Amino acid sequence: MSEADLLETECEAVIESLCKIAGAANTLTEPSDMAAYLEDWTGQYHGEAIAVVRPASTHEVSEIVKLCAAKDIAIVPQGGRTGLCGGGVPVQGRHSVVVSLSRLNAIRSLDVAGRTFVVEAGAVLEVLQEEAAKNGLVFPLTFGAKGSCTIGGNLSTNAGGSNVVRYGNTRELCIGIEAVLPDGSIINALTGLRKDNTGYDIRHLLIGAEGTLGIITAAVFKLFPKPTSRATGFLAVSSLDAAIGVLNRIQDRTGGAVEAFEYMPQPAVDVICRVFPDIRPPLEGNVETGIMLEVASSRPSDAAEMEDGSIKFQNELMEIMGELMEDGLIIDAMVAQSEQQRGELWRLRESILEAITKAGPVYHLDISLPLANIAPFVEEMDREALRLGFRPLTVGHLGDGNLHYALACTDAERWAELPLEEVKSFAFSLLKRFNGSFSAEHGIGQSKLALMGTLKEPSQLAMMQVLKSAIDPKNIMNPGKMVVV
């Protein structure tokens, strides 16, 4: 037999074994069946695979990993394929099996008194939010992709979102995991203890590792009290630096109740209102530093209805804004007076990515900075972007120092001529100078792998390679993502 024939025979044997483990109906090999699993939401990444397998239990995942380890076949763990960095699609040059966790999607248990639930990796985020709500609690992780992303993918990318300022990233919400390691062994750490100092923290090592160190199959998460009153508003702040002061003041005055503190300057609002003509700017005039704010409270005293029909918590926010105005920190402000007005503010915020994308060609930076460095970074970056012919469109989760900085184009036809590499290179140097991160919440995957080599501290990069080689010596777990060994 030729080498090619030998490979084909080997692949067939692997497929046969996969069928035995997960069932033939859940072992896809036809190109048309596999197509959807071999590309992601961005449309930028396409891969090839021997098979796509959909295990229904942790035991099946373990058996699949053992099989692939024995045959030196790459494993690509896959959630909802909503990642933005190509982390869930196979790379070229390796025989790969895509392991879709979609059938491993049960909510195993929910402890109302202990305020935790144990969920499987393939559960869709929105389903988890709904289950928590049914039990009078909140699972606060949320972002645009919630209807299709899975919690396993959220864990593997340590997903963020708009209320990290109050509840933290996915990492901070998770208090236990179950996972299959590259040798097929299973780690069962689902006790959900708030305190447990018995050894190295393996959970945090697997969270955010993009499936390169093992496959997270289930996790325990904290649940939170359901807010009974909310106040949502839009502020025109006097400067980006003043915005940090405003955030701190509102945090102090509300007892840390800020759930969203979203930077929405005028250029971003303009693009949204142009692309979606039914959306109107929340404040009149040119709002250079616009902030969409939401505070929420579970205290019944905050939900009290006042004599004039207003809600106490909303009144308190208005009072705070009055003070901030007197102090010159904010110039103008509005507080939503109805659920409809609140919905309009959220629609404004949530339309931004679609609006920017529809408005023309664009390159997105997902970056973070120490709060004190945001203003000088934006100033220098805007100046250089404009000089090079780009239109900077910045929005961001300001409370976490996370900016989504879009390099758009004032004239779509000129896009190809614009010096994209030059402006990116400028951005990354500037970020380094200001102690920023070149990937705040989207991760590394394939798209930012090269940047790791140039921007990550060499000692940390070396440590990552030591960890990857030790835990996955055959380099079978999602190779070509996050770290090169």
- The nearer residue to its own copies, 27 or 158, going by C-beta atoms, is 158
Least distance to its own copies, CB of residue 462, Å:
7
Q: Does 429 bind its own copies (CB under 8 A)?
A: no
Token digits of residue 65? 């990993």
| Interface with its own copies (CB under 8 A), residue from 18, 97, 189, 409 | 189
Least distance to its own copies, CB of residue 82, Å:
15
CA 229 to chain centre: 26
Contact window for its own copies (CB under 8 A) among 45-53, 286-294, 338-346, 451-459: 451-459
Q: Does 209 bind its own copies (CB under 8 A)?
A: yes
Tally of CA atoms within 13 A in the half-sphere of 28 that contains its CB:
18
- The nearer residue to its own copies, 160 or 480, going by C-beta atoms, is 160
Contact window for its own copies (CB under 8 A) among 88-96, 275-283, 353-361, 433-441: 433-441
Least distance to its own copies, CB of residue 227, Å:
9
| Interface with its own copies (CB under 8 A), residue from 36, 70, 306, 372 | 372
Q: How far apart are CA 13 and CA 58, in angstroms?
A: 22
- The nearer residue to its own copies, 136 or 343, going by C-beta atoms, is 136
Contact window for its own copies (CB under 8 A) among 14-22, 94-102, 343-351, 450-458: 450-458
In single-letter form, the type of residue at position 268 comes to A
Q: Does 8 bind its own copies (CB under 8 A)?
A: no
Contact window for its own copies (CB under 8 A) among 93-101, 275-283, 393-401, 406-414: 393-401
Least distance to its own copies, CB of residue 469, Å:
7
How many positions of this chain bind its own copies (CB under 8 A)? 95
Q: Residues 117 to 146: which contact its own copies by CB under 8 A?
A: none
Q: Does 461 bind its own copies (CB under 8 A)?
A: yes
Q: Does 483 bind its own copies (CB under 8 A)?
A: yes
- The nearer residue to its own copies, 278 or 457, going by C-beta atoms, is 457
Q: Residues 13 to 52: which contact its own copies by CB under 8 A?
A: none
Q: Residues 224 to 243: which contact its own copies by CB under 8 A?
A: 224-225, 241
Least distance to its own copies, CB of residue 253, Å:
6
Q: Does 302 bind its own copies (CB under 8 A)?
A: yes
Distances (CA, A) of 231 to 244, 313, 480: 19, 7, 45
